[in-house]
Amino acid sequence: MSEIADEELAERARKLFAGPVEFLKSAPGLQFLPDPAVPEVAFAGRSNVGKSSLLNAITNRKGLARTSNTPGRTQELNFFEVGNPLQIRLVDMPGYGFAEAPKDLVKRWKKLVNDYLRGRPVLKRALVLVDSRHGLKDVDREMMRMLDDAAVSYHLVLTKGDKIKPSALGTLYETTLTEAAKHPAAHPAIFTTSSETGSGIAELRTAILEAATT
C-alpha cells in the first residue's frame, strides 16, 4: 500500500472510532448472535490481559466495555457497534486461563469460542492480546492453534506496554514475532499497546479498519 493510501486509511480509522460506538448485546450462546450484517473483529486473550480496556481505548470511551480486577468477569461474547451507518462490530470475548476457573466453565468457554470462530464468515480478524509482562503462555498458544484451525487471521497485541521497560518490550516483540511466524493464521504485523498512555492505539484502529475492509 502506498504511503498516501496508508495515511488516508489512518484518518478514516480515526474518524470512524471518534464517531458513534454502542454496546449491542451479550451473547451467551450461538443462538444469540446478531445477524451477520457487517465485518467483525474479535478480542481474545487471557483473563485480565486488558481486552475490555483496549476496546475502551480504541473507541475513546472509558466505560463502554466493563473492566475489572476480578478474572473471568466477561463470560459472553459482547458485541459493540461502530459507525452510523454501522460499519464494524467489535467482539469482546471471555478471557481464558485463570487459575480458579472451574472445569465446566472452561469447557463451555471452549465450545462457545470454537463455534463462533468456525461458523462466522463475517469475522474478519481476531486480536490475541498478550500481557507484555508475561509474554506468550501455553494457553495463548492453544488459542492461536484454535484460530489456525478455524483459519481466522489474527494479530498478536502486546498489552500494558507502560508496565515494562522499552528495552524489555523490544526483546519481547522480537521473540513474539519469531513465534508468530510459525503459525499459519498469524498476521506478520504485531502491535504493542498501552491503554494507559494510548501508545499503539491509533495503529490498531487502522489495522481494524483495514481488516474489515479487505
Ligand X SMILES: Nc1nc2c(ncn2[C@@H]2O[C@H](COP(=O)(O)OP(=O)(O)OP(=O)(O)O)[C@@H](O)[C@H]2O)c(=O)[nH]1
What mask, x for binding Mg ion by CB under 5 A, covers residues 3 to 42? ----------------------------------------
Query: Which of Mg ion, ligand X, none does residue 176 bind (CB under 5 to 8 Å by kind)?
Result: none
Asked whether the beta carbons of 83 and 16 are under 8 A apart, the reply is yes
Report the partner that residue 183 touches, choosing among Mg ion, ligand X, none (CB closer than 5 to 8 A by kind).
Answer: none
Calpha distance 201→41 (Å, rounded): 15
* Contact status: 50 vs ligand X (CB under 6 A): yes
Extract the C-alpha cell encoding 14.
480515526
Q: What are 21's three cell numbers?
A: 460506538
* Nearer residue to ligand X within complex by CB, 39 or 95: 95
In this structure, are residues 45 and 95 in contact, taking their beta carbons and an 8 Å threshold? yes
Tally Cβ neighbours within 10 Å of residue 164.
Answer: 18
Comparison of 20 and 71: residue with beta carbon closer to ligand X:
71
From the list 78, 176, 192, 195, which residue makes contact with ligand X (rule: CB under 6 A)? Answer: 195
Q: How many residues form the binding site for ligand X (CB under 6 A)?
A: 23
Cis peptide bond upstream of 34, omega within 30: no
Shortest distance in whole angstroms from residue 66 CB to Mg ion: 7
With respect to ligand X, which residue has the nearer C-beta, 51 or 205?
A: 51
Q: Does 48 bind ligand X (CB under 6 A)?
A: yes
Reduced to 3 states (helix: H, G, I; strand: E, B; else coil), residue 117 is helix
Q: Which of residues 63-102 bind ligand X (CB under 6 A)?
A: 67-69, 71-74, 95
Does 159 bind ligand X (CB under 6 A)? Our answer is yes
- Contacting residue, 74, 78, 132, 193, with Mg ion by CB under 5 A: 74
> Is 52 one of the binding residues for Mg ion (CB under 5 A)?
yes
Considering only residues 117 to 156 of the shown chain, the ones binding ligand X according to CB under 6 A are: none
Per DSSP bridges, beta strands 77-82 and 21-27 are antiparallel
Closest CA to 27 of 120, 142, 134: 120
Instruction: Report DSSP state, residue 122.
Output: T
Rounded-to-integer distance, Cα 195 and Cα 53, Å? 6
Cα 144 from Cα 213, distance rounded (Å): 23
Residue numbers of the site for Mg ion (CB under 5 A)? 51-52, 74
Positions touching ligand X (CB under 6 A) are: 45, 47-53, 67-69, 71-74, 95, 159-160, 162-163, 194-196
